[in-house]
Amino acid sequence: MRTIARALRRLTWPLMLTLLLTACGGERASALGTQPSDVNDADVLFVQLMIPHHQQAVDMAEVADKKATNPELRQLVDKIAALQDSEIKLMGGWLRSWGKPLRPGGLGHSAHSMPGMLSSRDLDKLDRLQGPAFDKLFLQLMIKHHKGAITMAKEEQTKGRSKNVKEMARWLITNQSAEIRRMEQILRTMP
């Protein structure tokens, strides 16, 4: 995406530090409280479910990068894709360092049962649209998607144990709430 560096500058310092150190490997990541003993089942499940949730947002943003006509929306989708892609890498690193699979096993969770996940029907409808109609539906669907992520992050805040995973959940709530407000503002300016 065009503005990855700009989006990364907006990360909070604790999350940026975590991203950098986790990318460097196990011992440094463990020093940040990401050792298996520092996490509980809620932390693991949150991370396992948030990866495909974020991936759907990244995929949507890539479509919008090609199709969106609203300049504010184009700027926002660059940020969404860059941040969520970075967070996917971080969370995948956590799961590897914990010795956990990328997907939950035998827990009955499907991608469509996660709050805010869009159906293939929603995505097909979005893919068929062009111009302002695309922009409007994209914003409506991404608001729904972000609200679902916030619901998941709030659950992590109450049930999780890992300081770093809970910090990511707090960051996600703050950042995605701000993005929702921005998307709602863009929607209000559309005909």
- CATH number of the domain encompassing residue 154: 1.20.1260.10
How far CA 5 is from CA of 59, 63, 65, 81, 133, in Å, comes to 19, 20, 16, 12, 30
pLDDT at 106: 53
Mean pLDDT is lowest, of 31-35, 127-131, 163-167, for 31-35
- Higher-pLDDT residue of 108 and 54 is 54
* Domain region containing 164: 4-189
Percent of the chain with pLDDT over 70: 77
What local confidence, expressed as pLDDT, does residue 14 receive?
46
pLDDT for 16 equals 53
The pLDDT of residue 34: 59
Per-residue confidence band for 43, with pLDDT thresholds at 50, 70 and 90? very high
The CB-based long-range contact list for 102-106 (8 Å cut-off, 24+ gap) reads: 102/48, 102/51, 103/48, 103/52, 104/44, 104/45, 104/48, 104/49
- What is the count of structural domains for the chain? 1
- pLDDT on residue 112: 46
Does the pLDDT value for residue 27 go beyond 60? no
